[in-house]
Amino acid sequence: MQESAQTLNVGLIGYGMIGKVHAFGYATLPFYAPDLPVVGKVVAVATSRPESAANAQRALQCEIATTDYREIIDNPKIDVVHICAPNADHLPAALAAIEAGKHVYCEKPIVVDAQEAQILEDAISKPGVPERVRRVAFHLRGFVALRRAKEIIAEGRLGRIRQYRLGYYHSSSLDPSAPFRWKHDKSGGVILDLGSHIVDLLDFLVGLPNELVAQTTKAFPTRPLKTADSTVVQKPTLVEDYVSILTRGTLGANDDPCDVVGVLEATKLANGAEDELSVEISGERGAIRFSLMDSHYLDFFSLDATPVGWLRIPCGGRYDYPESQFPSPKSTTGWTRAHVASLASFYAAIAQQTCAVGTERDAHYRDYGADFAQALRVQRALEIVKRSALERRWERVTL
Ligand SMILES: NC(=O)c1ccc[n+]([C@@H]2O[C@H](COP(=O)([O-])OP(=O)(O)OC[C@H]3O[C@@H](n4cnc5c(N)ncnc54)[C@H](O)[C@@H]3O)[C@@H](O)[C@H]2O)c1
């Protein structure tokens, strides 16, 4: 950490699976990104129950624990708010944080539907709203290999892109005894949960398609839910566990209107899968492949290379900062490290805005974060996916 670094006070809203990952980001950021001019310190946490708030406070050693997240947002000493609560809580928390002039780092999906997206869009563009950094944790952009893929594509080394396949595979919906939770309710579902990641990633790498058609299915119509008096009832599941999307049309990366075709798939029905993201993009001169289970590497094929064939590129040390500062450039990269890189990008953007420091490294960080406008664009694309699946027809992607 820079000796002169400015420290911002941070409040976490939600301390479940991902809230802990965000806290891990703060604990390790000084190792990965030691010369950020602005850093954060977690001083407050909100959860839904007093016991979990007290546990979170003990783990984080922070001053404030609450079950009312407004206490965090209304606290003038808190500069940065992380929204790590279930999807349905994102909009009210984001609106309040924007109004209170906080920097916001929100989990994906930014909101749950088009109506909420419009409300948030209006709130951001309202005259007089303080200018703050607002990012969404599309942390896949933090993987070095995926940023290397973006560079290779932007350099034109794949030639004209002709097809792609992005899939995100989990197995967690296959067990019928797994209890009903918020992810099975109407603000959950695999389109918002995993689909948001791959749609953003597609946009990041090559742009969005012109048209799509989607189909969905759910694993089970109901799931068991324990009620307050400990009886178990079967509660209807309201959302899909699987979506596949066929796409066609010009991508942002291509100037000419060649017909690019693609398949996106997000599922929690893939038996044996853990957290398996796979990316394949193929053009007339080359192709790239990436697997999250093998995230240190990018596979690159080029007709222009000698000899022609697949090249496995170790990407860990591709950028010196923050990815390979710690422990060393040759150490493997991984899931949490991508989250830390995403957080580092958020802080570099805050530094740029609040202290007007713009080192070359800060610029590098800022390049790959997803702001609220990007997350709202993804949200609109996801609405089109839902509509297509519901109405069983091709839809134009107009955003
Ligand atoms: N980017 C990623 O890699 C990633 C991974 C997992 C989850 N997520 C996202 O993170 C969010 C949370 O998911 P999770 O898996 O951590 O959920 P979770 O159920 O494990 O945890 C939710 C947390 O929010 C708290 N909470 C619930 N309602 C609240 C309220 N009104 N006020 C304050 N706290 C409240 C709960 O007490 C709990 O601590 C979701 O939006 C999800 O999509 C992102």
Nearest-angstrom CA–CA distance, 338 and 209: 26
At 253-303, the pLDDT tens digits run: 445 555 799 999 999 999 999 999 999 999 999 999 999 999 999 999 999
Query: Domain range for residue 204?
Result: 144-328+376-396
- Concatenate the DSSP letters of all residues of 202-237 into one string: HHHHT---SEEEEEEE-S-SEEEEE-TTS-EEEEE-
Interval 139-168 mean pLDDT: 96
Is the CB–ligand 1 distance for residue 140 below 6 Å?
A: no
**Same domain (yes/no): 274, 346:** no
Is 1 domain-assigned?
no
Would the pLDDT of 95 be above 80? yes
Interval 207-236 mean pLDDT: 96
Residue located nearest, by CA, to atom 9 of ligand 1: 107
Interval 343-357 mean pLDDT: 84
Nearest-angstrom CA–CA distance, 297 and 157: 18
Closest CA to 80 of 17, 6, 147, 182: 6
Would the pLDDT of 385 be above 70? yes
Please give the pLDDT value at position 332: 87
Is the CB–ligand 1 distance for residue 197 below 6 Å?
A: no
**Same domain (yes/no): 309, 195:** yes
**Same domain (yes/no): 77, 202:** no
Q: Report the DSSP beta bridge partners of residue 80.
A: 10, 103
Is the CB–ligand 1 distance for residue 85 below 6 Å?
A: yes
Is 345 domain-assigned?
yes
**Same domain (yes/no): 210, 276:** yes
Residue 132 — very low, low, confident or very high, per pLDDT cuts 50/70/90? very high
Q: Which atom of ligand 1 is nearest to the CA of 89?
A: 31
**Same domain (yes/no): 241, 178:** yes
Is the CB–ligand 1 distance for residue 87 below 6 Å?
A: yes
Q: Does 30 sit behind a cis peptide bond, omega within 30 degrees of 0 on the bond before it?
A: no
Picking from 27-31, 36-40, 312-316, 352-356, which range would have the lowest pLDDT averaged per residue?
Answer: 352-356
Find tokens 């409300």 and name the residue. Answer: 119
Is 189 domain-assigned?
yes
Interval 174-178 mean pLDDT: 96
Please give the pLDDT value at position 39: 94
**Same domain (yes/no): 217, 310:** yes
Picking from 86-95, 113-122, 318-327, which range would have the lowest pLDDT averaged per residue?
Answer: 318-327
Is 101 domain-assigned?
yes
Residues in contact with 251: Cβ distance below 8 Å, sequence separation at least 6, in sequence order: 161, 206, 207, 208, 209, 260
- Greatest Cα pair distance in the chain: 69
**Same domain (yes/no): 161, 296:** yes
Q: Are 241 and 173 in contact (CB under 8 A)?
A: yes
Task: With H, G, I as helix, E, B as strand and everything else as coil, classify residue 226.
Answer: strand
- Return the CATH number at 272: 3.30.360.10
Q: Write the single-letter amino acid at 325.
A: Q
The share of the chain scoring above pLDDT 70, in percent, equals 94
Domains of the chain: total: 2
**Same domain (yes/no): 358, 251:** no
Residue 392 — very low, low, confident or very high, per pLDDT cuts 50/70/90? very high
Interval 98-102 mean pLDDT: 97
| Upper half-sphere CA count for residue 230 (Cβ side, 13 Å) | 0
Q: Phi and psi of 107, rounded to 5°?
A: -70, 160
Q: Which atom of ligand 1 is nearest to the CA of 15?
A: 39
Q: Are 85 and 137 in contact (CB under 8 A)?
A: no
Q: Which atom of ligand 1 is nearest to the CA of 20?
A: 16
- Return the CATH number at 85: 3.40.50.720
Residue 153 — very low, low, confident or very high, per pLDDT cuts 50/70/90? very high
Would the pLDDT of 251 be above 70? no
Residues in contact with 342: Cβ distance below 8 Å, sequence separation at least 6, in sequence order: 25, 135, 137, 138, 139, 141, 142, 368, 369
Q: For the beta carbon of residue 352, count every other beta carbon within 10 angstroms.
A: 19
Find tokens 């040390």 and name the residue. Answer: 317
**Same domain (yes/no): 173, 308:** yes
**Same domain (yes/no): 342, 389:** no
Is the CB–ligand 1 distance for residue 89 below 6 Å?
A: yes
The reported pTM is: 0.96
Interval 46-75 mean pLDDT: 98
In angstroms, how far is the first alpha carbon of the chain from the final one? Answer: 41
Closest CA to 266 of 335, 352, 197, 360: 197
**Same domain (yes/no): 304, 354:** no
CA 183, 185, 190 angle in degrees (round to 5)?
Answer: 45
Please give the pLDDT value at position 106: 98
Picking from 50-59, 212-221, 359-368, which range would have the lowest pLDDT averaged per residue?
Answer: 359-368
Please give the pLDDT value at position 322: 75
Would the pLDDT of 358 be above 60? no
Is the CB–ligand 1 distance for residue 108 below 6 Å?
A: yes
Average pLDDT, the chain: 93
Q: Between 399 and 358, name the one with better pLDDT.
A: 399
Nearest-angstrom CA–CA distance, 362 and 44: 27
**Same domain (yes/no): 86, 13:** yes
Is 67 domain-assigned?
yes
Task: With H, G, I as helix, E, B as strand and everything else as coil, classify residue 166.
Answer: strand
Please give the pLDDT value at position 363: 61
Is 26 domain-assigned?
yes
Is the CB–ligand 1 distance for residue 17 below 6 Å?
A: yes
Q: Write the single-letter amino acid at 276.
A: E
Interval 99-107 mean pLDDT: 97
